[in-house]
Structure 1
Amino acid sequence: MCEAVAPLLEAAPSAWVRQQFVAQLALGQQMLGALCGFGTVHCSLGLHRDDVGGGGQSLLSLFTITWQDTPAAPRAATAARAVTAPDGHRRVAYLELPCGPATVSETLRPPVTGSPLPRLPLLQVHAHLPHPDCKRLAVLTVSSTAAARRAEYRAVLEGIADTVRFTDPLGAVS
């Protein structure tokens, strides 16, 4: 981590800017620690231009992969059960992917009062992929405040889910 961040710190115009950067980085580490506490094993931040809307504004997204333990059940039942929770899943679709049955859904969370985050609703597109051991569920999620781009984020997530395989490339089932 120190090697990766060193060039950024050296490029900072002043000691104050370096301190601010380190403080923000520490906050980011705390947030990632909280995600790990919920079973998140991967997190990627996306910053890209909105080339659909014509305005060219920047869009921010977060992609996570989280493992959830589930009661043993057939994989199709686990996929279906994942979207029946009272979390407000909408636009639910059942898919047959190369890795097996899956459900894709969307949630729209209202802004949190008193939060330092932007006061915009948070779109979350989820793909629920039951593991072949029938005891775990991989949840892939793309989150963004650009709710108007829901169809594009959903297409991206479905494309990612289509690449998932529950096999070890060296031969052992994981």
Structure 2
Amino acid sequence: MTALTVADATLPPMAFRLPEGMHAIEVSLDPEERADAARRLVRDLYPQGEEPLWNTMGSLYSAMADELLADGVAFFGIGLYEIEDGGGVAHCALTIAVHERGDADPDVVAEGTRAALLSDPLREVSWLDLPCGPAVYGITFRKLVVDGAYTTSGRDEDLVMGQIQVHIPFPADPCTAVITLDTASVEQWEEFSHALADIIGSVEFPQREVTH
């Protein structure tokens, strides 16, 4: 597992570990470093590919990282896991956003978050006591209709999307980390749930370095 840090000039530091199978780009890097990270990601995802594919997909993921950064996302990753029965690959997307909050008490923030999430009757909401402090998670499943122009059958098809979203207040700063995992591979929901549990269980909030 690899240790990563989400931090920039304005955000307090946050550290976590990624399980095997999760490929990451830290969108808090500067543009040139993000582009390099995207190229490395593509070579990891497509080791049998060739330079044109790597360049095209690297540019795509780099542009995605730039767009996510503009939306307040500090990190994103793509998880790829081999399906044992029947072959194929299950995949998910992981994003981490850090938002400022008005209250500095993590328990108060977590209680408020839980109340807000419970307003959606289709969302399963639970409280978590993580090693780093209190947190709240919500699980939702949504059915989407995919246009037949984009399906192998040529007909409109239903697609079920699953999402796990975990809200973790920073213990000593007025910020909340929002970790979101999205997947259409709901048959592998248990594996993805375990992967996310490993990630949030490893979250730490290092003290800022004091400079003089």
Band of TM-score, shorter chain? 0.7 to 0.9
Measured on the aligned residues, the alpha-carbon RMSD in Å equals: 3.4
Kindly provide the amino acid, as one letter, of the partner of residue 120 in structure 1: L
1:157 aligned to which of 168, 173, 196:
196
Structure 2 counterpart of 1:27: 60
Equivalent-residue separation in structure 1 for 2:128 and 2:121 (angstroms): 19
Equivalent-residue separation in structure 2 for 1:91 and 1:38 (angstroms): 26
The ranges of structure 1 where at least 4 consecutive aligned residues each deviate by more than 6 angstroms after the TM superposition are 116-119
Q: Tell me if structure 1 keeps the 8 A contact 2:90–2:188.
A: no
1:69 aligned to which of 95, 100, 103:
100
Q: Tell me if structure 2 keeps the 8 A contact 1:65–1:140.
A: yes
Equivalent-residue separation in structure 1 for 2:122 and 2:189 (angstroms): 14
2:86 aligned to which of 45, 49, 55:
55
**Percentage identity across paired residues of the two chains:** 24
1:37 aligned to which of 70, 73, 96:
70
Structure 1 counterpart of 2:124: 91
Q: Secondary structure at the match of 1:133?
A: coil
C-alpha deviations, 1:22-63, integer Å up to 9, x for none?
A: 333322222211111222222121111123xx2232111122
**Shift, 1:77, TM fit:** 2.8
Structure 1 counterpart of 2:24: none
Structure 1 counterpart of 2:5: none
Is 2:175 the partner of 1:142?
Answer: no
Equivalent-residue separation in structure 2 for 1:134 and 1:96 (angstroms): 18
Q: How many residues align?
A: 162
Q: Secondary structure at the match of 1:111?
A: strand
Kindly provide the amino acid, as one letter, of the partner of residue 55 in structure 2: V
1:103 aligned to which of 124, 136, 148:
136
Q: Tell me if structure 1 keeps the 8 A contact 2:146–2:159.
A: no
**Shift, 1:150, TM fit:** 2.5
Bigger shift: 20-29 or 33-42? 20-29
Bigger shift: 116-125 or 41-50? 116-125
Kindly provide the amino acid, as one letter, of the partner of residue 167 in structure 1: P
Kindly provide the amino acid, as one letter, of the partner of residue 136 in structure 1: C
Equivalent-residue separation in structure 1 for 2:109 and 2:145 (angstroms): 30
Equivalent-residue separation in structure 2 for 1:117 and 1:65 (angstroms): 29
Q: Secondary structure at the match of 2:77?
A: strand
Gaps of 5+ in 1: none
Gaps of 5+ in 2: 1-35, 152-157
Equivalent-residue separation in structure 1 for 2:122 and 2:173 (angstroms): 22
Structure 1 counterpart of 2:11: none
